[in-house]
Chain A
């Protein structure tokens, strides 16, 4: 039996509306899309206000008057939309960018560069068994040739006999991208089946 719950009916309508784009662009889809953008922005505001209350306002209430500065900086963000006071927006954004960049690159050099290089450097190319050796060599060749492919300012590294190295890198990457493509297929179907199950189970109640 089909459900009588208006919430499920609404959800079913929007599920079908959002799917319809796959067949053809249409007004119902547009309605869903613009609703989506509007509600997403609204949710950001709601969560933003809650965040400001929980992590800023409570601090002022506790007597940490210094947080008034943060509120002033926060309001300055909106100067961005003013023709003449536009530049005031740069102070808080500079703070956010400095913090964001600092907090991420300080660890990125370790996580993405040193640990990865070190992992390549400490793995022996000969393992206990033949398969292990083959795997170790493929991994090593893939990593080194892929980096090689992305060297652009050393022209002599891309001609003659060494010119094969970046080509191998490109092929190794394409093989890996193929695996990524295959997994993306699963990712999308894994998501969409959840919506179909919702329609069949909650809305039509046939399973």
Chain B
């Protein structure tokens, strides 16, 4: 067996171990490489930045634990920017696990401590509503007819933030972060097509290409492209967190992937040349 034949079929255990190392090593010794901000995240940032104080944002926590490592940091950065700008945030969840992601995110934001925000006045979480697009249409249609309690069962009547929010006409921006294609498309259908609202969306990087056409046509004003978008937002908002830490890990692990691709191609090419002719 020639060296090329060996290289064209490395055992999976070796590949897996190298991948594991490429994640652990940079996690232990971060490099702190500079970042370049992508246009899609810049637009997300600018859209929120352009909102006047006290504008109302409807924020959908549309992911669960499967998406948390990738989307949680971006969600935290997005909240930092919104609280920093004194926006009123109405939070909901179209994902089953959204109500369990909410405390994890809020632990990272700490709106009371960092921004003096008051629950019920500056932000509120109305919890999980089943039905995905039906839930979106319900909240945008007549919020008070649908929702009576917040996620812990406290009545929402008497919460100042919701006094002036009855539906789509009172909401200035819809922002969502999700792992689901149905949710990513659903907000474009229900908020943009139905009410011509401004919408920004965050998704896993693997979904970005599929929702990119909405961004090109202005149906989405910005996209947070997975962990990269999250790192961009952390950088733009000046709140470095888990996503920026991850970019060093990405450097190592993706370089390893590139090496694998090179080895795979060269060895394949060499063995084919030797074998077939």
Contacts and interface: CB of A to CB of B under 8 A. Distances in A.
Is there a direct interface between A and B, measured as CB atoms under 8 Å apart in the complex? Answer: yes
A80 B16 CA distance: 45
Given A58-B148, A183-B205, A190-B226, A200 B28 contact: yes
A138 B127 CA distance: 44
Contacts of A153: none
Contact of A119 (B69, B146, B205, B217): B217
Contacts of A22: 16
A54 interface: yes
B209 interface: yes
Interface string A2-43: 000000000000000000001100000000000000000001
Contacts of B214: 111
Nearest to A54: B149
Nearest to A179: B209
Interface in B186-203: 186, 188-190, 192-194
B242 A196 contact: no
A108 B189 contact: yes
Interface string B205-226: 1101110011011010000011
Contacts of B242: 194, 197
Contact of A191 (B12, B70, B185): B70
Given A43-B96, A190-B226, A207 B27 contact: yes
B253 A194 contact: no
B47 interface: no
Contacts of B55: none
B66 to A, nearest CB: 8
B242 to A, nearest CB: 7
Interface string A170-201: 00000010011001111111111111110010
A154 interface: no
B246 interface: yes
B87 interface: no
A190 B216 contact: no
B263 to A, nearest CB: 16
Interface string A109-127: 0111001101100000000
Contacts of A23: 12-13, 16
A60 B146 CA distance: 13
A54 to B, nearest CB: 6
B28 A184 contact: no
Interface string B7-22: 0000011001000100
A190 B69 contact: yes
Contact of B68 (A110, A139, A188, A194): A194
Given A108-B189, A193-B246, 11 more contacts: A23-B16, A103-B189, A104-B133, A107-B194, A111-B214, A183-B205, A188-B206, A190-B246, A193-B249, A194-B69, A207-B27
B128 interface: yes
A187 B124 CA distance: 30
Nearest to A201: B27
A63 interface: no
Given A115-B219, A192-B23, A194-B69, A186 B205 contact: yes
A206 interface: yes
Interface of A: 22-23, 43-44, 47-48, 50-51, 54-55, 58, 99-100, 103-104, 107-108, 110-112, 115-116, 118-119, 139, 176, 179-180, 183-197, 200, 206-207
B165 interface: no
Interface in B131-156: 133-134, 137, 146-149, 153
Given A23-B13, A193-B246, A197-B27, A183 B225 contact: yes
B129 A189 contact: no
B204 interface: yes
B130 interface: yes
A99 B134 contact: yes
B250 A196 contact: no
A157 B133 CA distance: 38
B257 interface: yes
